[in-house]
A and B are shown apart, each in its own frame.
Chain A
Amino acid sequence: MRRRRTTFLLLLGIVALVAIALVLGRGADTDEKAFVGTDSRATSLVEQNHPHYVAWFQPLFRPQSPEVESGLFALQAALGGATVGYAVAALRARRRLEAALAAAREEAR
């Protein structure tokens, strides 16, 4: 019971932190676009302070639209998520096999 409660509280903490950020962050931004990525903010800061700097190399491939980009990000997350899921399931199966093997040995004795 106590274990479940801890798990629940941890999940609640994560969700609450993100939710609070969504609410508080909305007012903090003066730009018209809220929740811009920090990576692009850093790039803007460079361009602002060093207007003469020109990026000397361009990405070999750039997703043509935000839709294509978000799709590729989703693919990245899906590949990772599937692998984590597979690993956890395989480990669980390993535990079951070990238990079954131990039980069979016990019986044979």
Chain B
Amino acid sequence: MHIAEGFLPPLHAAAWTVAAAPFVVHGARAVVRERRERPETTLLLAAAGAFTFVLSAIKLPSVTGSSSHPTGTGLGATLFRPPVMAFLSTVVLLFQALLLAHGGLTTLGANVFSMGVVGPWAGYAAWRLLCGRHRGLAIFTAFALADLATYCTTSVQLGLAFPDPVSGIAGGVVKFLGVFALTQVPLAVVEGLLGVLVLRLLADVAGPELARLGIVPTTPPSEAVTR
């Protein structure tokens, strides 16, 4: 989902930067507020940011013969609501743009919009819709959708900037979807399964914190400490 440096026309690059900027500022404030109001969850916040850091460094092979990387934004989006991920994703994308020539400064806005805004909100929406019915399924869908929605957004961004010479913008979007979306489906499933694993681990070690965040039902303190 990293649009390469210079690979969006200046107007598009500027427009996506303007579109992403308020989300990032709001996200940074959300991180500060979270740390002030619920300091005991700071460790989980760090884990959520670090999770994205790890996953976006790992490129996995897919059945299409391409490789691609998961985004890992589902964790922070479900635990802390999506705004924090706009900020944390910007940190990750800046690291990769500056040190790895992966993505870029001119395309940072577009990349933040797909990975830090659309992906987390899509994942969070899935979590909210399903968490009342089946917690595991909700986590799986949230993680998978946060991943897949990011790549679909990238396809739309590239399709808008580079319409197909014959079939126009719609054709361009479809072509980029052909590159990104199909490859991403198995990876999104992997990310969904990983999400269920991570949440099971966190439920073991961070029960009270997850209860405060409203992720697991509140357990009586006596039960929480006997573990």
Contacts and interface: CB of A to CB of B under 8 A. Distances in A.
Interface in A49-88: 49-50, 53, 55-63, 69, 72-74, 76-77, 79-84, 86-88
Contacts of A7: 197, 200
Contacts of A69: 100-101
Interface residues of A, number: 65
Contacts of B25: none
A92 B139 CA distance: 22
Contacts of B52: 80
B189 A17 contact: yes
B175 A43 contact: no
Main secondary structure of the interface of A (DSSP, over half): helix
Contacts of A91: 43-44, 202, 205-206, 209
Given A84-B51, A84-B54, A10 B65 contact: no
Contact of B190 (A17, A56, A72): A17
B205 A41 contact: no
Nearest to A55: B6
A107 interface: no
Contacts, number: 197
A88 B47 contact: yes
Given A7-B197, A21-B60, A60-B105, A53 B162 contact: yes
A54 to B, nearest CB: 8
Interface of B: 1-7, 9-10, 43-44, 46-47, 49-68, 95-106, 151, 154, 158, 162, 164-165, 172, 175-176, 179-180, 183-184, 186, 189-190, 193-194, 196-197, 200-202, 205-207, 209, 222, 224-227
Given A36-B66, A42-B154, A91-B43, 8 more contacts: A7-B200, A13-B193, A17-B190, A29-B66, A46-B158, A91-B205, A98-B224, A102-B225
A-B pairs, 5 with minimum CB distance? A29-B65, A55-B6, A80-B53, A80-B54, A83-B50
